[in-house]
Amino acid sequence: MSELSPYSFFQSVEKSFDKAARFTTWDIGILEQIKACNSVYRMRFPIKRDDGTIEVMEAYRVQHSHHKLPCKGGIRFSDEVNQDEVMALAALMTYKCAIVNVPFGGGKGGIKINPKKYSSYELESITRRYTSELVKKNFIGPGIDVPAPDYGTGEREMAWIVDTYTSLKPGEIDAAGCVTGKPVSQGGVRGRKEATGLGVYYGVREVCQMPDVMEKLGLTVGVEGKRVVVQGLGNVGYHTAKFFRENGAKVIGLAEFEGAIFNEEGLNEEDVFQHRKRTGSILNFPGSTNLTVNTDALELDCDILIPAALENVINIDNAQRIKAKIIGEAANGPCTPEADEVFIHKGILCIPDMYLNAGGVTVSYFEWLKNLSHVRYGRMEKRFTENMNARILSQIEELSGKSVSDKERLFIMHGADEVDLVHSGLEETMITATREIMEIWKSNVNIPDMRTAAYVSAINKVATSYAELGIFP
């Protein structure tokens, strides 16, 4: 719990769940089972620092639901890691996977460290030891529990995990599927890095293309011309800003922990990123105005606000000052339940994290499938498609007597690469999930917001899985 919310993170998730459960017809026992965390592994292990001292690590892995296997969820390295947070994030993963029709149960892991205070060698030791602890307790495996990157981790850590797992499980042919978010050379999939940010863009774009929703918000249809503010310039925030800007929106504000910057004419996220790389801060970016408190960016006048940092940044203390018409939750749990009540009262549309940032797990699912099939996406059909398209184009030109331009020729003849197929699958996933949630929301006038509708979708899908398994009558 914090001063800004009377609930812990996990209790906030439970509160949102209970709010939605009223709009379902499932037995209370089924609802309690869905809500509960099935397995919590809390561990302690020692590592030797570079200076020879021994430090005891605090780490967790939570498997929230086993209605589908394997469990799926990231591993974060952060000083803020605790059991409550990991349980909450694992629960959100269960609901997230259900909403976007990815057949995983929810999981999450974390190690309580600040990775900036450790050398690469120390981080490798910590990651490998954590993996070995998971193997000992059967908390990792392509059919059991599949971690992924999260806050403070990335491709490097995932490569260490798969290498450690493989060494402890020699001969396991599907070992590469024990973790996702790996480098492409180690079995990763192209398109994974930008997946969460691209998924956020696709989800918000789909909402913005609904005329009735936009009319209610007083906005025009589409993302073009929309004024966007992004809090967080990490991987998710960077790519979210990139895709909005490339598709005609204006990113007028960017925030990081050191402060925020504003420019009504728009900011280029890559230029800001390079400025920060050179100077150590996004502040004093040429042509922009400094906002020395990063949370000030949340209160800027804009059409779309994207909190892409940490949880609880929009709460009872500042929710009344939010001026955005749409909030797209790219981070996990950036808005508290109290903030949701304010949004309902103010007519702000909050697109919930539990499905909006599912791009990462969706593409992780594609990576997992690739690891199990042992075939790169596009390898079997790319050349066939190109040859077929070339023949069709040739026939059209011959019959019409007209030739297409070189640019159009390249576009028409192009056979899908792996990244094309991944992006296409992600776009389909986000569009379908958005429409399903909106249909639930519109079909029941008593459902107060999109988050509750998303939870209703998740509850119904998980409960149906249990019912079909015969676990419950």
What length does the chain have? 473
Across 451-466, b (16+ Cβ under 10 Å) vs e yields bbbbbbbbbbbbbebb
Provide the residue type at 354 as one letter.
Answer: M
Strand partners, 147: 73
Distance of alpha carbon 301 from alpha carbon 2, whole angstroms: 27
CA 121 from chain center: how many Å? 28
Distance of alpha carbon 91 from alpha carbon 72, whole angstroms: 11
CA 73 from chain center: how many Å? 10
Catalytic-residue membership of 108: yes
Token pair belonging to 304: 């779309």
Token pair belonging to 438: 């909106």
Distance of alpha carbon 378 from alpha carbon 385, whole angstroms: 10
What is the secondary structure of 297-361 as a DSSP string? Answer: GGGS--SEEEE-S-TTSB-TTTGGG---SEEE--SSS-B-HHHHHHHHHHT-EEE-HHHHTTHHH
DSSP state of 414: P
Catalytic residue among 72, 96, 108, 370: 108
Distance of alpha carbon 353 from alpha carbon 255, whole angstroms: 19
CA–CA distance from 279 to each of 127, 274, 323, 359 (Å)?
A: 30, 9, 31, 31
Residues 6+ apart with CB under 8 A from 248: 222, 223, 224, 225
Distance of alpha carbon 88 from alpha carbon 427, whole angstroms: 27
Token pair belonging to 457: 């979708």
Could you tell me whether strands 54-63 and 39-48 are parallel, antiparallel, or unpaired per DSSP bridges?
Answer: antiparallel
Strand partners, 329: none
Q: How far apart are the two ends of the chain, measured CA to CA in Å?
A: 37
Residues 6+ apart with CB under 8 A from 219: 208, 226, 303, 325, 326
Cβ–Cβ < 8 Å for 263, 289: yes
CA–CA distance from 314 to each of 11, 75, 231, 255, 297 (Å)?
A: 16, 24, 11, 14, 11
Catalytic residue set: 108
